[in-house]
Each structure stands twice: as C-alpha cells, then as structure tokens.
Amino acid sequence: MVEKWLVGGDIGGTTIKMAFINQNGEIISKWEIPTNINDGGKYIPVDIAKSIEQTLSKLGQEKQKLIGMGIGAPGPVNLRNGSIDVAVNLGWKNFPLRDLLEIETSLPVIVDNDANIAAIGEMWKGAGEGTKDLLCVTLGTGVGGGIIANGQIVHGINGAGGEIGHITSLIEGGAPCNCGKTGCIETIASATGIVRLMIEELSSTPTPSKLRDFHIQHQTLSSELVFKLANEGDELANKVIRKVTLYLGLALANLADGLNPEKIIIGGGVSKAGDALLVPLKEQFTRFAFPRVSQGLELAIATLGNDAGIIGGAWLVKRRLLNRYENIPLHL
Ligand code: ZN
C-alpha cells in the first residue's frame, strides 16, 4: 500500500511556509518561499504551485503522491468560496485564493485563517494532542486566536470567530488597536503591547530600572528583555508583567466561562517566557474563572512553534477525507 501525502501551507507577510506531511502528522519535507507581494500579491498562488512541483521532483515523486492542500492565510476567510476579503500585508482584496490555488496546483484546496489552522495543528500534534475543546492564543506582534469546540474550528457567521485579540480589556483610556477600537487585549498582551506598557511605566516614575538605562542607550526594548529583567527582580518589569497577566487572565477566564475548554494553549514569541508568563497567568485565570471551569483545565505553552500552521493545514485535508470515507482506511 502506497502512502499518500498531505500538503500544509501557511502564508505570512514575509514568507510562505510549506510542507509535505504524512497521515500520521509527521513532516516529510518542509520548505519556505518568500512572499511576493508585487502587483497586489497576485503571484502568490503560482509561486506556491511551482514550489510544490520543484519539491516533488527533488524528492523523486509524482503529483499523484499528494491528496490535497490545507493552507492558512492572514485575515478572515470567506468559507463559502475560500476567498480572502482583505489581507492588507499581502495586498489582497476579495482574493479568490482557493480557486486560484486549485487551478494552479490541480489539487483540492482548503483555506482557513492562519491562527485557526495553528490551533488545529496544536490540537493534532502539539500541546493540545488528545483534546477536542481548546483555546489557542498567539502572543506575537499582535494577539491571534483560535477556538476549537468538539474538534471543530469556531468560525462564526462572518469567519471572524476566535478573534481573541480584540476582546476589550480597558473600557476607557486604552491604547488604539489596529482594528479601529481602543483597549483591546492585543494592545496589552502582544510583544508590542508589553514594550509600550514598559515604556509608559518607565516615564511615569523615577524608580531605578536597568530597562530605563537600556532604553536610553539603545532607544529600543523587547518583551523578552522585560521578562528577563522581571526574573532578575526588576520592580518595574514585574509591575508590567503583573498588569499583562491580570488583563490576559481576565480575558481568558471570561472566554473560558463561555466555552468550558479542556486546555488553553499559549503560543507566539511572548510564550517563550515559559513559566515567567504561565505562573502569574494561571493565578489570575483561577481568580476570575468560574470554579467549575477552572477545575481540570490546563494552561500550557504551545509546542509546535512555526510548524503549527502547516500541520494544521494538513489536518484539514485529512479530516475532509475522514468525512468522505468514514470507515475506509486512509492509505488509499
Ligand atoms: Zn482590536
């Protein structure tokens, strides 16, 4: 019996991550191509198709080896036709991504939001393995999210389900968010938000801090540095981390009260802080969540890193097959 492969993809603003993945979720081969945003991003589908052909020939394989492709894209996805309404980074507007990819690759294609497929990836092979009800939050430049209920992505009516980053945390006096509102959790718990809060803290008090010296000298700060100095006992850095985990813990507790998930998985660059983030976050979460929701719920750091999206994309193809062939073995 010949094993067939799934294709996973994850389109980002600077690179497109791609992989051939077997039906056990193991990566056979992965690669990246630069995202060509020229002419409104119109070359992206053909670039993806070419890179698939090239990798197949490098591996000495034919197109028949592939079953289909699942791919993530930034921005809400129109689930009826797999098109992307707007992706500012890529220059797309009403871009028929699924149709173009199907034409260029001759494969069946499933398109979903990038944060959603990362959540699915963590459910299949990462920190959420074995669970069907989970929340995933990605703390990066922004705050992304994916909600999975009973093994299914919660898309909502407009494909904007899981936009955890735009939960309002400050009803007054919050910083402006990219979405047009103010006070979203993204303005507080993203890497950018943490740095902004730190700079605000430094300018509002004369309390000594190594971070102030660093900021004066280099005119820059990072969330990693804030966590590092908080660990070393810096008073102002600890104050900022307490604020970040207070609002994030509150937002996640309110969300969890509505969903009663088994796990909450925290990913993205900020999650590299590990326990320095997780321990105070758990404390705040437990403080605000309904006790029955807290019981048995596990807060964990994501384990797949940048591979979550490609693995999640592959899972979408596999699930479509499972739906189609219910009890027929997948080794077709
Ligand atoms: Zn927002």
Q: Given this model, what pLDDT does residue 328 score?
A: 45
Give me the residue label for tokens 């997948």: 330
> Do 115 and 145 meet the contact criterion of CB atoms below 8 Å apart?
yes
Q: Over the stretch 23-54, which tens digit does the pLDDT of each residue have?
A: 999 999 999 999 999 999 999 999 999 999 99
> Do 198 and 63 belong together in one domain?
no
Q: Structurally, how many domains does the chain consist of?
A: 2
Beta carbons of 5 and 66 less than 8 angstroms apart: yes
- From residue 134, alpha-carbon distances to 17, 70, 128, 264, 319 in Å are 24, 20, 7, 6, 18
User: Ligand 1 centroid vs 266 CA: distance in angstroms?
Assistant: 19
- If asked whether residues 278 and 242 sit together in one domain, one would say yes
Residues 99 and 161 in one domain: no
Q: Give the separation between CA 321 and CA 107, rounded to whole angstroms.
A: 13
- Type of residue found at 201: E
| 125 falls within a domain | no
Do 61 and 77 lie in one domain? The reply is yes
Please give the distance, rounded to the nearest whole angstrom, from the Cα atom of residue 179 to the centre of ligand 1: 4
Q: Are 191 and 270 in contact (CB under 8 A)?
A: yes
pLDDT tens for the 332 residues of the chain, in order: 678 999 999 999 899 999 999 999 999 999 999 999 999 999 999 999 999 999 999 999 999 999 999 999 988 888 889 999 888 888 899 999 999 999 999 999 999 999 999 999 999 999 999 999 999 999 998 999 999 999 999 999 888 899 999 999 999 999 999 889 999 999 999 999 999 999 999 999 999 999 999 999 999 999 999 999 999 999 999 999 999 999 999 999 999 999 999 999 999 999 999 999 999 999 999 999 999 999 989 999 999 999 999 999 999 999 987 776 554 444 43
Are 166 and 259 in a shared domain? yes
β-strands 66-73, 5-11: how paired? parallel
Q: List Cβ<8 Å contacts ≥24 apart for 159-162.
A: 159/76, 159/77, 159/78, 159/79, 159/113, 160/76, 162/113, 162/115, 162/116, 162/119
Say yes or no: 289 and 148 in one domain.
Answer: yes
Residue 162 lies in a domain: yes
Contact by Cβ (8 Å): 82, 91: no
Q: Among candidates 5, 6, 4, 8, which has minimal Cα distance to 307?
A: 8
* Angle CA 228–212–232, to nearest 5: 25
Same domain, 173 and 86: no
Q: Is residue 163 within 8 Å of 137, Cβ to Cβ?
A: no
User: What is the pTM (predicted TM-score) of this model?
Assistant: 0.91
Give the domain range for residue 217: 130-303
Distance of alpha carbon 85 from alpha carbon 70, whole angstroms = 18
Q: How far is the CA of 220 from the centre of ligand 1 (A)?
A: 24
**200 and 275 co-located in one domain:** yes
Query: How close is the Cα of 214 to the center of ligand 1, in Å?
Result: 30
User: Taking ligand 1, which is a single-atom ion, which protein residues have CB atoms under 5 Å away?
Assistant: 166, 177, 179, 181, 184
Give me ligand 1 centre to Cα 73, in Å.
19
Compute CA distances 10 → 60, 295, 306, whole Å: 24, 34, 9
Residue 325: predicted pLDDT: 55
Cα 23 to middle of ligand 1, angstroms: 37
Check whether residue 153 and residue 165 sit in a common domain.
Answer: yes
Return the SS3 of 39. Answer: helix
Centre of ligand 1 from the C-alpha of residue 328, in Å: 44
Exposure string of 281-319, with b = 16+ CB inside 10 Å and e = fewer, is: bbebbbebbeeebbeebebbbbbbeebbbbbbbbbbbbb
Look at residue 124 and tell me if it is in a domain. no
Nearest-angstrom CA–CA distance, 132 and 154: 12
CA angle 270–48–21, rounded 5-degree value? 65
Q: Are residues 291 and 316 in the same domain?
A: no
314 dihedral zone (left: phi>0; alpha: psi -120 to 50; beta): alpha
Q: What pLDDT sits at residue 89?
A: 82
- Output the CA angle 306-307-310, nearest 5 degrees: 120
Give 63 Cα–ligand 1 centroid separation in angstroms: 42
Domain co-membership, 296 together with 313: no
Centre of ligand 1 to C-alpha 247, Å, is 14
Distance between start and end Cα atoms, the chain: 8
Q: What is the CATH number of the domain that holds 227?
A: 3.30.420.40
Give me ligand 1 centre to Cα 27, in Å: 34
Instruction: For residue 332, tell me if it sits in a domain.
Output: no
Name the one residue in this structure whose structure tokens are 């998930």: 261
Q: What is the pLDDT of residue 158?
A: 85
Q: 75 with 12: CB under 8 angstroms?
A: no
Distance 186 CA to ligand 1 centre (A): 6
List the beta strands (DSSP E) in 114-215.
134-139, 143-149, 152-153
User: What is the chain's alpha carbon radius of gyration, rounded to the nearest angstrom?
Assistant: 21
Dig out the tokens for 127 from the structure. Answer: 């920190």
Report how far ligand 1's centroid is from the alpha carbon of 28 (Å): 38
Q: Are residues 66 and 144 in the same domain?
A: no
